[in-house]
Copies of this chain bind each other. A is one copy, B any other.
């Protein structure tokens, strides 16, 4: 993309309504614009990252064997009356009537609707196991929406539902989700720690939240510092293997890690003192096993191997996709702006032309642009007639991990400058080598999506 043809309305001033850094930077970098309280328009740069996160989540869910589909945002109240949640959900559920006076609601989650699709179509144990999921907009009418996309009212969520014949199978689904979530967050450059959680209004005995450590997190967290040394890395996991998934669960959840909701001082005291940590965390996902609660309420059973009906064991598993943008920025920024991890950056590399209009500089930039595009990478070329300082400030603000600076002086020596946003370090090298280096960096960060 050439910046002169893009729509990137960056702000010079710090917006007064933003209390936390991710909200401030998303507004300043022209990623979002508030439409109503807790409801945002996703400007082109914000949408680009959102779509990339969505695609990463899809890829990792499909890798784990889960099947994508899509529910409508508006649902009939009747289904929610069946499960008993229509009256219980409270004021966060946005309700409305259609022109015929029928009670409708904007889906805040979708246990009922997935259970309904399941019971209408699956009759035999032979069709199990099954995990269906969607990435769809949800609405929760928060009384005090705040922190930008971190606590919005209309938000994009991945919600998945497993349908299994037994508790044992459902716990494998639970573990599979844990593994796929670890992979997902790592690809996004995040360390998200699974912590024992409270099941809240969804119910159930088994649940973990995934928390990203950040000073602005809404939860207080307590953990054994050994847990932050764990990485999932490039392991080749067989998601069908009960043992492999169980082993990952044990590795990542055996150390103490809890939020204030489930914190247990006595247990925490057993952690060696030099490894006890208290911090703040942002919740970016949660997994639940809740057994037959919804399937019993809604009559979702299948015929078992012996011909008798079996209640389905279910769980639900969520990732807050739009909120992840905020979490990533909270975890990765400096005083000049955002620092995108390579896995999620909206553009792979920025090209800054120090002397727009200079024939040699222009054609060197165009050649770089074409090389990146031909390699399947997505460069952002600042081709505006602006002074260098303004161009650098914009690139720093929007946080592309790599920048190539092109100017007449360097070109005379056959070099351009390659700068890392994270370290600020620069090196001069011939343009072809800069391109090659960038291509190599991104070789393991390809996002295909659905």
CB within 8 Å of B: which A275-315 residues: none
Distance in angstroms between the alpha carbons of A86 and B91 in the assembled complex: 25
Q: CB distance A47 to B68 under 8 Å? A: yes
Distance in angstroms between the alpha carbons of A137 and B47 in the assembled complex: 15
A96 touches which one: B94, B113, B117 (CB < 8 A)? Answer: B94
Known: A99-B91, A117-B33, A120-B33. A44 touches B72 (CB 8 A): no
Is A75 an interface position by the 8 A CB rule? Answer: yes
Known: A96-B96, A104-B36. A7 touches B67 (CB 8 A): yes
Main secondary structure of the interface of A (DSSP, over half): mixed
B-side contacts of A76, CB under 8 Å? 35-36, 39
CB within 8 Å of B: which A86-129 residues: 91-92, 94-96, 98-99, 102, 104, 106, 113, 116-117, 120-122, 127
26 CB contacts below 8 A, A to B, read A7-B69, A7-B127, A7-B132, A9-B120, A9-B122, A30-B121, A35-B75, A35-B76, A35-B113, A36-B102, A41-B69, A41-B72, A41-B113, A41-B117, A42-B70, A42-B71, A43-B69, A46-B69, A47-B68, A47-B70, A72-B137, A74-B94, A94-B96, A98-B153, A99-B141, A137-B137
Distance in angstroms between the alpha carbons of A74 and B33 in the assembled complex: 14
B-side contacts of A122, CB under 8 Å? 9
Q: CB distance A121 to B73 under 8 Å? A: no
Distance in angstroms between the alpha carbons of A141 and B43 in the assembled complex: 28
Distance in angstroms between the alpha carbons of A44 and B132 in the assembled complex: 9
CB within 8 Å of B: which A26-51 residues: 30, 33, 35-36, 39-44, 46-48, 50-51
Is A154 an interface position by the 8 A CB rule? Answer: yes
Distance in angstroms between the alpha carbons of A96 and B103 in the assembled complex: 11
Is A5 an interface position by the 8 A CB rule? Answer: yes
Residue of B nearest to A240 (CB): B5
In the complex this chain forms, how many copies of it are found? 2
How far, in Å, is A390 (CB) from chain B's closest CB? Answer: 15
B-side contacts of A70, CB under 8 Å? 41-42, 47, 50
Chain A residues with a Cβ under 8 A of chain B: 5-7, 9, 30, 33, 35-36, 39-44, 46-48, 50-51, 65, 67-76, 91-92, 94-96, 98-99, 102, 104, 106, 113, 116-117, 120-122, 127, 130, 132, 137, 139, 141, 143, 153-154, 449-450
Known: A35-B75, A36-B102. A7 touches B130 (CB 8 A): yes
Known: A96-B95, A96-B96. A44 touches B71 (CB 8 A): no
B-side contacts of A5, CB under 8 Å? 65
Distance in angstroms between the alpha carbons of A17 and B375 in the assembled complex: 50
Distance in angstroms between the alpha carbons of A68 and B44 in the assembled complex: 6
With A30-B121, A36-B75, A44-B132 already in contact, 14 other A-B pairs whose C-beta atoms are closer than 8 Å? A7-B130, A35-B71, A35-B72, A35-B76, A35-B116, A36-B72, A39-B74, A41-B113, A43-B69, A44-B68, A47-B70, A72-B154, A74-B154, A92-B99
How far, in Å, is A237 (CB) from chain B's closest CB? Answer: 17
**Shortest Cβ-Cβ A-B pairs, 7 listed:** A9-B121, A96-B96, A42-B70, A36-B76, A39-B72, A47-B69, A47-B70
Known: A36-B102, A94-B96, A141-B99. A117 touches B43 (CB 8 A): yes
Distance in angstroms between the alpha carbons of A99 and B95 in the assembled complex: 9
Residue from A46, A99, A139, A153 having most chain B Cβ neighbours under 10 A: A99
Residue of B nearest to A31 (CB): B69
How far, in Å, is A110 (CB) from chain B's closest CB? Answer: 9
B-side contacts of A130, CB under 8 Å? 7
How far, in Å, is A408 (CB) from chain B's closest CB? Answer: 25
How far, in Å, is A422 (CB) from chain B's closest CB? Answer: 26
B-side contacts of A7, CB under 8 Å? 67, 69, 121, 127, 130, 132
A99 touches which one: B33, B75, B121, B143 (CB < 8 A)? Answer: B143
B-side contacts of A71, CB under 8 Å? 35, 41-42
A94 touches which one: B46, B51, B98, B137 (CB < 8 A)? Answer: B98
Distance in angstroms between the alpha carbons of A345 and B270 in the assembled complex: 58
How far, in Å, is A151 (CB) from chain B's closest CB? Answer: 15
